[in-house]
Amino acid sequence: MEKTTKIGVIGCGNIAGAYFNTNKNFNFFDITACADIDVERAKAKAEEYGIAKGCSVEELLQDDEIEVVINLTIPAAHGPIMMQALQAGKSVYNEKPFCVTREEAQAALALAKEKGLRVGSAPDTFLGGGIQTCRKIIDDGWIGTPIAATAFMLSSGPEGWHPSPEFFYKPGGGPMFDMGPYYLTALVNLLGPVRRVTGSARASFPERTITSQPLWGTKIPVEVDTHIAGIMDFHSGAMATLLVSFDSYASPHSPITIFGTHGTLHVPDPNTFGGPITMWLPTEGQVQSVPVTFGYTGNSRGIGVADMIQAGRSGRAHRASGELAYHVLDLMHAFHDASRQGRHIEMQSTCERPAAMLMGLRDGELDE
């Protein structure tokens, strides 16, 4: 029987609970420590979720038994914490975005390669049953050759629900870096890597007002673009339109739609793991519901970490890889570059399209 991989979580904020709960779904790894800049918060999370140790970041990184770090810090800390963990000899799985800058991401990938360590990144929602079913529909030719796609993430911003939303309006935040990774990762999984992009971006309001507790009424200066429109040309020949916004209210648009030569596929919200999925085929003449035929349809955040660990044991490539995450990061910057420069941006990065998941997997099972 193979040993259990010990994992440490750095960052005990809003998203941490989803990862702590995933710890119960897989029997080959165990979250044994959690850390935070606020050590008391780390200790409280450890007690709440039955984790052996809540501690400082330094103490966790010095623990030689921990082989993998899940980095759930704020975006600005993703790169620095990842570098510290890699230097400590630990593989790392980052929350999205992978990093704030291209340079820090490139440095981390280079260090991981030098040390023979693995690097991965959220989102891993594209491994869920909903998008994997859509992947099979496309790969099996049900809608013919993909011609185009649309992707819409329109909201009025997180200040109405998040308890501490300031970081959403600082570098590494905004709708592109906060929500864009879900949509772009799903599109690369479905259509492959991107060849070039163009786009326009703006910040519609100079400040935002928090209407959630406990910071109700606090003003936030806006330091990032909050409404971004982009066009992507894929190496496969397909093209896609992307619109992400914190400046919009209710929208009737489907999150992602793929238009093929023989039909149209409506992809579920890429911030979720399940459905619904609908498809229009000319032979049917109407929109029809499509059953989800793959596993992991509940909140399965952390499946990307599990896949990275299993892949490390067998020697295969893991799906939510650093290379995929870097291509998505490069795309997000490229939209802003295109807006500032008024031109198309030829992508300097690429990645392999992640391997499809297997059908018939139950929660807790992966390829091996």
**Side by side, which strands form the sheet with 119-121?**
53-55, 29-35, 5-10, 68-71, 91-94, 119-121
pLDDT band at 256 (very low <50, low <70, confident <90, very high): very high
Q: Which pLDDT does position 363 carry in this prediction?
A: 83
In the structure, what pLDDT confidence band is assigned to residue 252 with cuts at 50, 70 and 90?
Answer: confident
Residue 364 predicted with pLDDT over 80: yes
Binned at pLDDT 50, 70 and 90, residue 29 comes out as very high
Query: Which residues, in sequence order, are bridge partners of residue 34?
Result: 9, 54
The pLDDT of 159-186, averaged and rounded, is 95
pLDDT band at residue 1 using 50, 70 and 90 as cut-offs: very low
Q: Which one is predicted more confidently, 230 or 364?
A: 230
The stretch 218-236 carries a mean pLDDT of 97
Residue 263 has pLDDT above 50, yes or no: yes
Average pLDDT (256-271) is: 98
Give the span between the Cα atoms of 115 and 134, in whole angstroms.
36
Residue-level pLDDT at 14: 86
Token pair recorded at residue 315: 């020697």
Q: Is the pLDDT confidence value at 22 over 90?
A: no
pLDDT score recorded for residue 321: 98
pLDDT at position 191 over 70: yes
Confidence of residue 140 (pLDDT cuts 50, 70, 90): very high
Region 35-48 average pLDDT? 97
Q: What is the mean pLDDT of residues 95-106?
A: 97
Q: What is the C-alpha separation between 34 and 15, in angstroms, rounded?
A: 13
Of 58, 60, 36, which Cα lies nearest the Cα of 48?
A: 36
* Predicted confidence (pLDDT) per residue in 342-353, tens digit: 999 999 999 999
Domains plus CATH for the chain? Answer: 5-121 (3.40.50.720), 129-290 (3.30.360.10)
pLDDT band at 218 (very low <50, low <70, confident <90, very high): very high
Write out pLDDT tens, residues 309-330: 999 999 999 999 999 999 999 9
Alpha-carbon distance of 257 to 27, in angstroms, equals 36
* Average pLDDT of the segment spanning 276-283: 95
> Mean pLDDT, the chain, as a whole number?
96
Q: Residue 368 — very low, low, confident or very high, per pLDDT cuts 50/70/90?
A: low
Residues in a beta bridge with 266: 257, 278
Angle between helices 180-191 and 322-341 (to 10 degrees): 110
3 state SS of 132: helix
pLDDT at 251: 76
Q: Name the amino acid, one letter, at 29.
A: F
Q: What pLDDT is recorded for position 150?
A: 98
